[in-house]
Amino acid sequence: MTEAPRFLRPVKAPAANVGKAVTFDTPLPLDCGRSLAPFTVAYMTYGALNADKSNAVLICHALTGDQFVASDHPITGKPGWWTTMVGPGKPIDTDRFFVICANVIGGCMGSTGPAETDPATGQPFGLNFPLVTIRDMVRAQKRLVDHLGIEKLLAVVGGSMGGMQALQWAASYPESLRAVVPIACAARHSAQNIAFHEVGRQAIMADPDWRGGEYQLHGTRPAKGLAVARMAAHITYVSEMALQNKFGRNLQNRDAKSFQFTPDFQIESYLHHQGASFVDRFDANSYLYITRAMDYFDLAEEHGGLLSEVFRVNAARFCIVSFSSDWLFPPFENKRIAHALNAVAAQVSFVEISSDKGHDAFLLDEPEMFATVRGFLNHAASDLI
Amino acid sequence: MTEAPRFLRPVKAPAANVGKAVTFDTPLPLDCGRSLAPFTVAYMTYGALNADKSNAVLICHALTGDQFVASDHPITGKPGWWTTMVGPGKPIDTDRFFVICANVIGGCMGSTGPAETDPATGQPFGLNFPLVTIRDMVRAQKRLVDHLGIEKLLAVVGGSMGGMQALQWAASYPESLRAVVPIACAARHSAQNIAFHEVGRQAIMADPDWRGGEYQLHGTRPAKGLAVARMAAHITYVSEMALQNKFGRNLQNRDAKSFQFTPDFQIESYLHHQGASFVDRFDANSYLYITRAMDYFDLAEEHGGLLSEVFRVNAARFCIVSFSSDWLFPPFENKRIAHALNAVAAQVSFVEISSDKGHDAFLLDEPEMFATVRGFLNHAASDLI
């Protein structure tokens, strides 16, 4: 029998529930100069890998996503976050494709992150966890793909931060993929987006229950701060018009204003719900680390600011998808990627889908997105499977 | 000699520094059903009232503004918040006009608000202060204008929440003004704007130093929560493009990313500064009350949702000013006011000024706004003074 742990378990699924997991002993070098060893990548797969291993599609998740792209979430019990896109007969068809989705390092669903135990101390990493980048996340995924014996992915697909990872895959491992589908993302995080992230981090770190990041040792959780961070972020995921159409100035379960500070408006109750349900499934330190990884993302940076140089050696096909009302990653940011690819004569298609759903459209029922991704993947796979 | 107060003074100027102030004993009826008595209105005036009292211009301040529109702020020492607009020879010319600007009730610069002493208990009001509305603020201003012996204001001018008050003046006291200049505002607060306000309030109320609103009694201040609220709000005051042009992804006083959670980017340092300087001059409970007043603002509500009905009996001239990159009060919200006025054949002019400065443009150097306001006021005053 082992001793009871001295610290509170992080907010994450019990180890048995994170799906598959592989632990690597060879260190993972990180952009910050440090390395992680050992490190674990938790992941899920759907469908079957074909004999020549040519039908693998890697899906990269967004900031608060995880590996449960097409199966029930072990904490919330809710369906996977992209069941409209991924599954038998769906645009990313698991009857044809072998779909892999891994929790990012720095995350809190089984991959090594700040809530896990630091082998050097036997304590949770907390802020001793190294700051990871989008490229580091992709490095860890490459280890997983190698581990699965896949030499060349059919495609890497992702929305939001998942789209950043898809772009990074094309930049870091151009020989290891045939197609790339970055959706609702950018090649760099904007000043406004960094600003919103910093507000969220400050809200978490202002919560005394955060305890300098060592809340697990103290048996506390910075739930209020994390909820405020989520509420602020959530506003950026939806369009002004969507909020106005859905909630407007409607009151919540009352006929008249209360003249108090309790939530009077439906939009307030909705935001409170977003905040409260988030803290039940997400680790606050992971939120700090992953937002920072997004802030640091600037694909052109190593190429003298010339985004097209990133893709000069690329033989992959690209399909860039954006949404008209997305103000977190506006169409012009997505278009910038397409222009850079055009400049080096890469194979690229760009679509701006008309939607009033804002950034979250990529997670919702958007038939034009489904048709675009389905057609693009089928074309990419046509001479292979 | 009086006893030393048992509670911490609120964040506000010492009584001697709030400019002029008048205390009314006759109760001020409030929309919530309660009333305030006595109540104080702190204000400043600039220029001289002419013999027939026809040259008075009331300026209404925004959420975090105050009466120091054209003179140094007693706490920060900084110039008044609209010195580009108000002063000798300026668009609102104090050589010609008698300018009045009052701190709103619920505020923290001398007018009765939550940080003041409740005469019923001898303690600070805190959350026992009644929830006030934009109409209540305007009711208090009307008392001041009556007190000054002014029967008819030449104009009421304001930006943002000040614009809401200007509109409310036209709705509540159509016989008491000749001209109205609502700038960068709306006739109702949108769902998205309510959402941002609620994030700010939750950040304040999550701060343990808020102490259920009784922080003055405990000698604490919810500085961290108020700073987070200000940071989130500040993002909404500027355009994405302005942030990108001013800060982009530039690092602050360093050559490379720190791979830590300290502010690496200029935009982060800028936001921290906005948060830190705000808590030195503003009361957290006032922030709760005033944001709530804005949330509750919906001018058409009492008229069956028909905004034009609000202005049916109005003989005043209106000049509606909006800014192209303002996403807090987008031009279409301003235009909606103009359309409502057109529908009842009111005298209205509408201008959308092309600017990349976002909502804050109304406080900045915008020559087209200056020319518009100067021309409009001169015209309104042409047969009077």
Instruction: Answer whether residue A1 is part of any domain.
Output: no
Encode pLDDT of A259-301 as tens digits.
999 999 999 999 999 999 999 999 999 999 999 999 999 999 9
**B42/B178 same-domain check:** yes
Backbone angles phi, psi at A103, to 5 degrees: -65, 135
Domain boundary among the residues B249, B276, B291 is at B291
Domain total in chain B: 2
Domain boundary among the residues A228, A257, A291 is at A291
A275 chain-B contacts, CB cut-off 8 A? 202
**B102/B42 same-domain check:** yes
Average pLDDT, chain B: 94
In chain B, % of residues over pLDDT 90: 91
pLDDT of res. A384: 79
pLDDT tier for residue B10 given thresholds of 50, 70 and 90: very low
Q: At A234, which CATH number?
A: 1.10.1740.110
Encode pLDDT of B81-103 as tens digits.
999 999 999 999 999 999 999 99
**B32/B57 same-domain check:** yes
Instruction: Answer whether residue A5 is part of any domain.
Output: no
pLDDT of res. A10: 45
Instruction: Answer whether residue B42 is part of any domain.
Output: yes
Distance CA A200, CA B45 (A): 41
**B129/B34 same-domain check:** yes
Instruction: Answer whether residue B1 is part of any domain.
Output: no
**A312/A223 same-domain check:** no
pLDDT of res. A145: 98
**B41/B84 same-domain check:** yes
pLDDT of res. A4: 33
**B222/B278 same-domain check:** yes
A153 - beta bridge partners? Answer: A177
Residue of chain A nearest B293, judged by CA positions: A259
Q: Which of B21, B42, B39 is nearest to B30 (CA)?
A: B39
Sequence-distant contacts of B221-227: CB under 8 A, at least 24 apart: B221/B8, B221/B11, B221/B279, B221/B284, B222/B284, B223/B279, B224/A202, B224/A206, B225/A206, B225/B284, B226/B275, B226/B278, B226/B279, B226/B282, B226/B284, B226/B287, B227/A202, B227/A206, B227/B272, B227/B275, B227/B276, B227/B278, B227/B279
Q: At B111, which CATH number?
A: 3.40.50.1820
Q: Which of A238, A249, A264, A302 to mutate to test binding with chain B, by most B CBs within 10 Å of its CB?
A: A249
- The β-bridge relationship of strands A117-118 and B98-102 is unpaired
- The β-bridge relationship of strands B347-353 and B39-46 is unpaired
Instruction: Answer whether residue B9 is part of any domain.
Output: no
Among A6-15, A229-238, B152-161, the range scoring the smallest mean pLDDT is A6-15
H-helix segments, chain B:
134-147, 161-172, 191-206, 215-218, 223-237, 240-246, 266-279, 284-296, 307-310, 331-343, 367-381
By Cβ distance, the residue of B203, B235, B259 closest to A32 is: B259
Q: Cβ separation of B257 and A296 shorter than 8 Å?
A: yes
Residue A14 above 60 pLDDT?
A: no
**B82/B222 same-domain check:** no
Residue B240 is part of which domain span? 193-291
**B26/B150 same-domain check:** yes
- Let me know if B79 is exposed, middle or buried by CB neighbors in 10 A (0-12, 13-18, 19+): middle
Average pLDDT, chain A: 94
A272 chain-B contacts, CB cut-off 8 A? 202
In chain A, % of residues over pLDDT 70: 96
**B239/B311 same-domain check:** no
Domain boundary among the residues A266, A291, A316 is at A291
pLDDT of res. B120: 92
Residue A1 above 80 pLDDT?
A: no
Instruction: Answer whether B260's CB lies under 8 Å from A131's CB.
Output: yes
Active site residues of B: 160, 326, 359
Q: How far is B246 from chain A (nearest CA, A)?
A: 9
**B200/B136 same-domain check:** no
By Cβ distance, the residue of B228, B240, B249 closest to A202 is: B228
Residue A56 above 80 pLDDT?
A: yes
Run of H or E including B350: strand B347-353
Instruction: Answer whether residue B276 is part of any domain.
Output: yes
Q: Which of B189, B235, B250, B299 to mutate to test binding with chain A, by most A CBs within 10 Å of its CB?
A: B235
Instruction: Answer whether residue B227 is part of any domain.
Output: yes
**B286/B370 same-domain check:** no
Distance CA B112, CA A347 (A): 66
By Cβ distance, the residue of B191, B203, B292 closest to A248 is: B191
Active site residues of A: 160, 326, 359
Encode pLDDT of B232-257 as tens digits.
999 999 999 999 999 999 999 889 99
